[in-house]
Structure 1
Amino acid sequence: MASLRTFDAFPKVDSHHLVRSQRGSYSTLMTFLLLLFLTWVEIGSFFGGEVDHQFHVDNTVSRNMTINLDILVAMPCNFIQTNVRDLTYDRFLAAEKLQYEGMSFFLPHGYQVNSERHIVTPELDEIMAEGIRAEFLRRESTGHNLGSPACHIFGSIPVNRVAGDFHITAKGFGYRDRTQVQVESLNFTHVISEFSFGDFYPYIDNPLDATAKTTEENLKSYTYFLTVVPTVYKKLGVAVNTNQYSVSVQEKTYTVENRGPPGIFFKYDFEPLLLVVEDQRMSFTTFLVRLATIYGGIIVCAQWMNKFVEKMLLVLFGKRYASRGLEKSASLLDDDL
């Protein structure tokens, strides 16, 4: 036990063999300030956490998906038909689920008109604050004002979770219909206030939200190509399941000789990936280990840096310059000399 008490794995130099200097005090002070700063950063990381983005294979078995939309088209509702068609050759009459409301056409203030909209990916805290589920207002269609100059189409429609196409066309174009809208009456100028997939979150911004397209041509076609990525936001045990999507648009103008189906087409497809954005926090044990590692590394680096500086001063300027600021000896032997 006596030998164990005197055992020292890290032998130290006795204090009377050490020489203090002014440069050493500056080095100690800077090292202390650096340790204090890094400690503050680690404490912030421990309490604040970090946002982690992970892609996983989407192995959830889901057959259905909801499309939420709010679109204003510059044509009477009596002229418009809406349909959904997907890869399974399933055709769905979207008008059975959507609401039609006749009104006057207008361009809302602040909407992006005939140009691409720059979308910034929202932060985790923003999504968690604005991820409030809602539903479109449901009411019985009265059939009033359907002959107004514009048609407000809104609501949620269930679709199969496969690649598909939701389109807004005129009667007699693309599908056989009893009525045929005159070419001179066609106008697919439109305003998109909402277009999203999955649960409806009215406060989350989507790439097509607050956009508009205007045209003076009758046989105009707008095709939006959408790629949907399921996304889950997690923080403190709360999860928000959303769907992000990227979009590109193609515009085409037909002629009387080359008459294609004019209208507004949304061609969508789903990626087989799941993006998980999660707020992760380290454990208290990991926090202590990180602090110990940082302290040890900084102290060792500071010692080596101090020795390097002293060596360089000695080589470049000589012993007399290098010894400036060193503590003077106060022993009896030095006094006798």
Structure 2
Amino acid sequence: MEKENVTLLKYRGSKLNKVKELDFFPKVEETFKQKSSVGGTLSIISFLLILWLIYSETVYFWDSKFVFKFIPDNDYDAKLGINVDITVAMPCANVGADILDSTNQHAYKFGTLEEEDTWFELAPNQRRQFDNERHFNSYLREEYHAVKDILWRNRYIHISQELPPRSEIPNRPYDACRIHGSLILNKVSGNFHITAGKTGKSISLPRGHIHISAFMSDRDYNFTHRINRLSFGEPSPGIVHPLEGDETISEESMYL
């Protein structure tokens, strides 16, 4: 009986050795191996890298995907809001903002935009915030093509924010007009414009209105402007309003 047990153990041991020796690649003899701290470090780094790749691929596999679907808006009776915060380098007495749609209604039917005399040049603290907004929005528009990957997943709401109060007050007259506020519009074709001259409220035209600028000289015109906010509807995650953070300096007084 004892002899049979020894034979069985030898048989099992020989099979185990054959399994250990089974390899698709030729094994290196132990006499040719030399252990070192550098090799051990590289082995640990490789092992950690493999674990990280497995984890990242698993997360990517289980992560949600966005499917975009667009449908026509057939709710013609609903209203749509427009949010405006634009500064034009002309005093408020020389500039006017208005909206006109295909129903021949102007801005005073939809609400009121506030006009605030100010200085076009920003204070240092305001300039820093506006430049950050401008660079970030420019990056989203021009460089980062998978915008959804950093907006929806991070619950991004809105880039633009109210500029902080001025840290320095200029010692000169106002040279700009800040036009800001929200209006509720009809869902029909129309246009929003800011131009020189005030709207002639008492003058009714069949298909529009006029801005009176007869008493302005050429040097009074300056269409240099800054857009801090120009959006439609309520703030929503992931919606980028491409004109926000835009600043245009006019080289000629009568043109943009």
Alignment of 1:54-133 (within 5 A): 54-59=68-73, 61=75, 63-93=78-108, 96-106=111-121, 108-109=127-128, 110=131, 117-118=138-139, 119=141, 120=144, 122-124=147-149, 126-127=151-152, 128-131=154-157
Secondary structure class of the residue paired with 1:72:
strand
For the structure 1 residues 199 and 105, does the alpha-carbon distance in structure 2 shift closer, same or farther, using more than 3 Å as the test?
same
Q: Distance in 1 between matches of 2:56 and 2:227?
A: 44
Q: Contact conserved, 1:135 with 1:200, CA < 8 A, in 2?
A: no
For the structure 1 residues 37 and 23, does the alpha-carbon distance in structure 2 shift closer, same or farther, using more than 3 Å as the test?
farther
Matched, 1:210 2:242: no
- Measured after TM superposition, the shift of residue 135 of structure 1 is 10
Q: Distance in 1 between matches of 2:22 and 2:54?
A: 27
Alignment of 1:1-337 (within 5 A): 21-23=22-24, 40=55, 43-45=58-60, 47=62, 49-59=63-73, 61=75, 63-93=78-108, 96-106=111-121, 108-109=127-128, 110=131, 117-118=138-139, 119=141, 120=144, 122-124=147-149, 126-127=151-152, 128-131=154-157, 148-171=174-197, 175-176=209-210, 180-184=214-218, 185-200=220-235, 205-220=240-255, 222=256
Once the two structures are superposed, what CA deviation does each residue of 1:198-255 show, in whole Å capped at 9, x if it has no partner?
A: 11469975321221111242321x5xxxxxxxxxxxxxxxxxxxxxxxxxxxxxxxxx
Q: Distance in 1 between matches of 2:178 and 2:96?
A: 12
Q: Contact conserved, 2:86 with 2:228, CA < 8 A, in 1?
A: yes
The Cα RMSD (Å) is 4.4
Q: Distance in 1 between matches of 2:61 and 2:237?
A: 33
Q: Contact conserved, 1:65 with 1:159, CA < 8 A, in 2?
A: yes
TM-score, structure 2 as length reference = 0.55
For the structure 1 residues 111 and 39, does the alpha-carbon distance in structure 2 shift closer, same or farther, using more than 3 Å as the test?
closer
- Measured after TM superposition, the shift of residue 60 of structure 1 is 5.3
Q: Contact conserved, 2:151 with 2:238, CA < 8 A, in 1?
A: no
The one-letter amino acid paired with 2:93 is N
The one-letter amino acid paired with 1:156 is S
- Measured after TM superposition, the shift of residue 66 of structure 1 is 1.2
Q: Distance in 2 between matches of 1:188 and 1:181?
A: 17
For the structure 1 residues 111 and 40, does the alpha-carbon distance in structure 2 shift closer, same or farther, using more than 3 Å as the test?
closer
The one-letter amino acid paired with 2:217 is V
Q: Contact conserved, 2:113 with 2:180, CA < 8 A, in 1?
A: yes
For the structure 1 residues 59 and 101, does the alpha-carbon distance in structure 2 shift closer, same or farther, using more than 3 Å as the test?
closer
Unaligned runs of 5+ residues in structure 2 are 1-14, 28-46, 163-172, 200-207
For the structure 1 residues 219 and 40, does the alpha-carbon distance in structure 2 shift closer, same or farther, using more than 3 Å as the test?
closer
The one-letter amino acid paired with 2:183 is I
Q: Which has the larger strand fraction? A: 1
Q: Distance in 2 between matches of 1:39 and 1:25?
A: 27
Match of 2:6 in 1: none
The one-letter amino acid paired with 2:214 is Q
Q: Contact conserved, 2:96 with 2:198, CA < 8 A, in 1?
A: no
For the structure 1 residues 172 and 157, does the alpha-carbon distance in structure 2 shift closer, same or farther, using more than 3 Å as the test?
closer
Q: Distance in 2 between matches of 1:60 and 1:216?
A: 43
Q: Distance in 2 between matches of 1:94 and 1:181?
A: 27
Q: Distance in 2 between matches of 1:84 and 1:189?
A: 20
- Measured after TM superposition, the shift of residue 171 of structure 1 is 1.6
Q: Contact conserved, 2:117 with 2:176, CA < 8 A, in 1?
A: yes
For the structure 1 residues 202 and 95, does the alpha-carbon distance in structure 2 shift closer, same or farther, using more than 3 Å as the test?
farther
- Measured after TM superposition, the shift of residue 190 of structure 1 is 0.5
Q: Percent identity?
A: 26
- Measured after TM superposition, the shift of residue 178 of structure 1 is 6.1
Q: Distance in 2 between matches of 1:53 and 1:104?
A: 45
